[in-house]
Structure formats: structure tokens, C-alpha cells
Amino acid sequence: MSRYARQKQLPEIGEAGQSRLGKAHVAVVGAGGLGCPVLQYLVGAGIGNISIFDPDEVEESNLHRQPLYGMPDIGKPKALAARDALRALNPQVEVSANVESIGPTRAPEIAAKADLVIDAADSFAASYILSDACLAEDTPLVSASVLGQTGYVGGFCGGAPSLRAVFPELPATGATCATAGVLGPVVGVIGALQAQITIKVLLDAQPALGQMITADLSGMHFGGFSFLGNPEPETAIPFIAETMLQCSDLIIELRSHHEAPKKIRPEAERISEAELRDQFPFSRQRVVLCCQSGLRAWRAAKGLQAQGETNLALLAARACK
């Protein structure tokens, strides 16, 4: 019996739909808690070509929520360990591994080459970078986020509004699974929903785009809404990479010397977020604000924007490639 016999029985798939899935190229950014269920279900469904991007190595603390990995994988790059596990699961699928983070210079290339991009990264900077690239390339983006026992998943770009149209402001805090904790089955649920939306989009089931699903599994509540009518922000402060810096830029290093003994660039001015407002107004040059995750840079940029500064950019050292 065919590997895909059960899903081909569905009228919305059949032979034609299975052929479409087999020709699809999906880029998955992140092979952690969300990426593991996404990858397993997409490989199981017979997505023809999957590219994995993740810079991290497997740690023992990952294993409770990342079932692609086992104890022998500890210390191995996640992208490589995931690739090997997925090839064993379904050798008919072409899986490539890229041990790298995704920043503003790499994201446009990935969005241009893939039929769909999945944001399974535990980084809001990466999410906005991917959304900006997918919006420019008209490539569908399936993005999700989980913290504790709550999460969301949505289908963005590719004709639908971008992530910025739904979340024009960054979160108040930079909490992540590493700092705030997460329950394994929650990322499993949200990751499986990412895979479901991805398959629907690849089968040209357009309603999957422009839709948001929310989950609060501490109280066992699901919700959701359509954001198809949401407008794109009139002004969007972009994330840039270090290689995109210009000689005329005023680079402001928001990280303390203790946090980052070496500034992002020698010519950068080290100014704290609290001191920044006292330095305004700046000249007409572009002001580039740098911190580790991008959150402080975002807050500082919004403050300067409120004071009248318009030529701004953000640089997150964690995702600056």
C-alpha cells in the first residue's frame, strides 16, 4: 500500500494534491519545540523538498519537547540531527540542513527560493525579519509562538497581511521558552497546527492564509480570528544586518560593557536606553540601534520616533546575518 494512501483518500488531496505536495519546497526556520512536530508531519505528508535552518546544538533540556532527538544527539547541531532523523522517517523527501541563524541578509534569499516559509524560531526578531522578506517576495509565511502553556499560529503574507499588520508592536518583554518555561505538549499542538496550515496553503486552500488560531492550554481554550482586512503599518522600522551598515550611520550600542565588551562596531557610541532621550535630536543621518535580541532597540527606536526621528533601523546581534 502507498505510504500516502490514507491522506490521498481525502477528496481535497487525492493524486493531484499528493503530486503538488511532492513538488513543494518548504523552508523551516527553527528545529526546536515547534520545528520538531512541523518537520515530522511535513516529512510524513511527503513534502518534496524541506530546508532546515537552525544554529543551535541539541541539549538535554530540549528532549522533553523535541522528540526528533535522543540522548545520542546531545551536542550535535539540531539541523543535522533533524535531517538524519527525517531521512530515516521518509527517504522519499529531500531534506537539507543549514547550521545557521537567519538574519536580514539571508531571509530574502530563503523567501525567494521557497514555496512557503515556516517560522518556528524562538525569536521575535527572526519572526519580523522573515515576515518582511516574505511580504516583499509574496511568499506565504506560517508563523507561530509559544510561551508557557499559551501560543498562536497564523498564515501571513503570500497575499495576506504580514506579521506586522497583526502585531505592529513588539512584546513588552523578551521572555522566551528558555527564560519563562514551556510545556512540551503545547509546542506539539501548535507545531502540528503549523504543519496543517502549511499543507492547506500548499494545496491552494486560500482560507488558511489571513487566519489566526490561539490556544490557552492551561484552561483548554482555543480561539481565533481572521485578519484579512488588517492594513500594513504606514511606517515599519526595519531590522538590518551588520553588513548592511553604512559609513554615514550613527550606530548606537545599547548593550553595556559588561554585556558586550566588544561593541557591534568600533565606531558605535555606547549609550544606554535611559540616556538616549537626552541625546536627541540627532543629525539627518540614519540612526541604527543595536542590542542583543532587538527588544531594547525597538523600544528605543519607538521613543525616538515619538520625538520626531524618522530615519531609524534596528540591529539584533543575535540575528544580524
Q: Which residues are catalytic?
A: 177
Only one residue has cell 535630536, namely 281
Cell matching residue 172 = 513588552
Q: What angle do CA 278, 284, 289 make, to 5 degrees?
A: 55
Neighbouring C-beta atoms of residue 65, cutoff 10 Å: 21
d(CA 83, CA 95): 6
| Cβ contact 60:74 at 8 Å | yes
Residue 230, judged by CB atoms within 10 A of its CB (0-12, 13-18, 19+), counts as middle
The closest of 129, 251, 140 to 206, measured between CA atoms, is: 140
DSSP three-state, residue 167: coil
Rounded to an integer, what distance in angstroms lies between the CA atom of residue 101 and that of residue 122?
A: 11
Under a CB-based contact definition with an 8 Å cutoff, are residues 163 and 136 in contact? no
State the Cα–Cα distance between residues 271 and 255, nearest whole angstrom: 8
121, three cell numbers: 524560531
36 φ/ψ angles, rounded to the nearest 5 degrees: -60, -55
Q: Of the candidates 8, 150, 172, 27, which has an alpha carbon nearest to the alpha carbon of residue 96?
A: 27
Signed CA dihedral, 65, 71, 77, 80: sign only: negative
What is the DSSP pairing of strand 312-316 with strand 150-156? unpaired
Helix axes 184-202, 35-45, angle to 10 degrees: 40
